[in-house]
């Protein structure tokens, strides 16, 4: 099976993606992760204005199969959360890199993105 892995994203081992957008870092879970989880039924995200720390958990994703922690790819301040996921968590399954995004972070050190897996390395990891 082939999974979508956008060239403009970086990845954590735990299957979160990160993408630079308008000076912020947008975060979600990968196509592979949403497929493994199955139907997503609930997403718990932090409040805007809160701080997140690289590789620490920031929320929870719940599916019909499992409950999993979500991990921050970079440290910084949460500047936006995707409120659409409250009423429509299935967006994570339908469009993990688009409408299914989870939060945006104003990064303390944008260079932290360089420490994450490249699309090629992530593809090798899930192969």
* Tens digit of each residue's pLDDT (9 = 90 or more) over 10-58: 999 999 999 999 999 999 999 999 999 999 999 999 999 999 999 999 9
Question: Structurally, how many domains does the chain consist of?
Answer: 1
Is residue 4 a contact partner of residue 108, using CB atoms and an 8 Å limit? Answer: no
- Give the pLDDT of residue 110: 86
For residue 124, is it within any domain? no
For residue 126, is it within any domain? no
Give me the domain span that covers residue 17.
10-116
- Give the pLDDT of residue 66: 93
- Give the pLDDT of residue 46: 97
Is residue 100 a contact partner of residue 28, using CB atoms and an 8 Å limit? Answer: yes
For residue 121, is it within any domain? no
- Give the pLDDT of residue 70: 98
CATH number at residue 109: 2.40.50.100
Region 69-81 average pLDDT: 98
pTM (2 decimals)?
0.96
Region 64-80 average pLDDT: 97
For residue 79, is it within any domain? yes
* Tens digit of each residue's pLDDT (9 = 90 or more) over 79-124: 999 999 999 999 999 999 999 999 999 999 989 999 999 999 999 9
Rounded-to-integer distance, Cα 1 and Cα 55, Å: 28
Residue 22: how many other CB atoms lie within 10 Å:
7
Angle at 47 between CA 42 and CA 119, to 5 degrees: 65
- Give the pLDDT of residue 85: 98
């Amino acid at each position: 099976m082939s999974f979508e892995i956008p060239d403009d994203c970086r990845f954590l081992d735990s299957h979160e993606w990160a993408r630079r957008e308008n000076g912020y870092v947008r975060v979600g879970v990968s196509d592979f992760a949403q497929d493994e989880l199955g139907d997503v039924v609930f997403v718990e995200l932090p409040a805007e204005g809160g701080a997140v720390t690289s590789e620490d958990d920031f929320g929870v994703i719940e599916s019909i199969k499992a409950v999993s922690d979500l991990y921050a790819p970079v440290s910084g301040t949460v500047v936006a959360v995707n409120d659409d996921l409250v009423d429509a968590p299935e967006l994570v399954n339908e469009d993990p890199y688009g409408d299914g995004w989870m939060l945006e972070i104003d990064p303390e050190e944008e260079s932290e993105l360089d420490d994450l897996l490249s699309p090629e390395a992530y593809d090798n990891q899930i192969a």
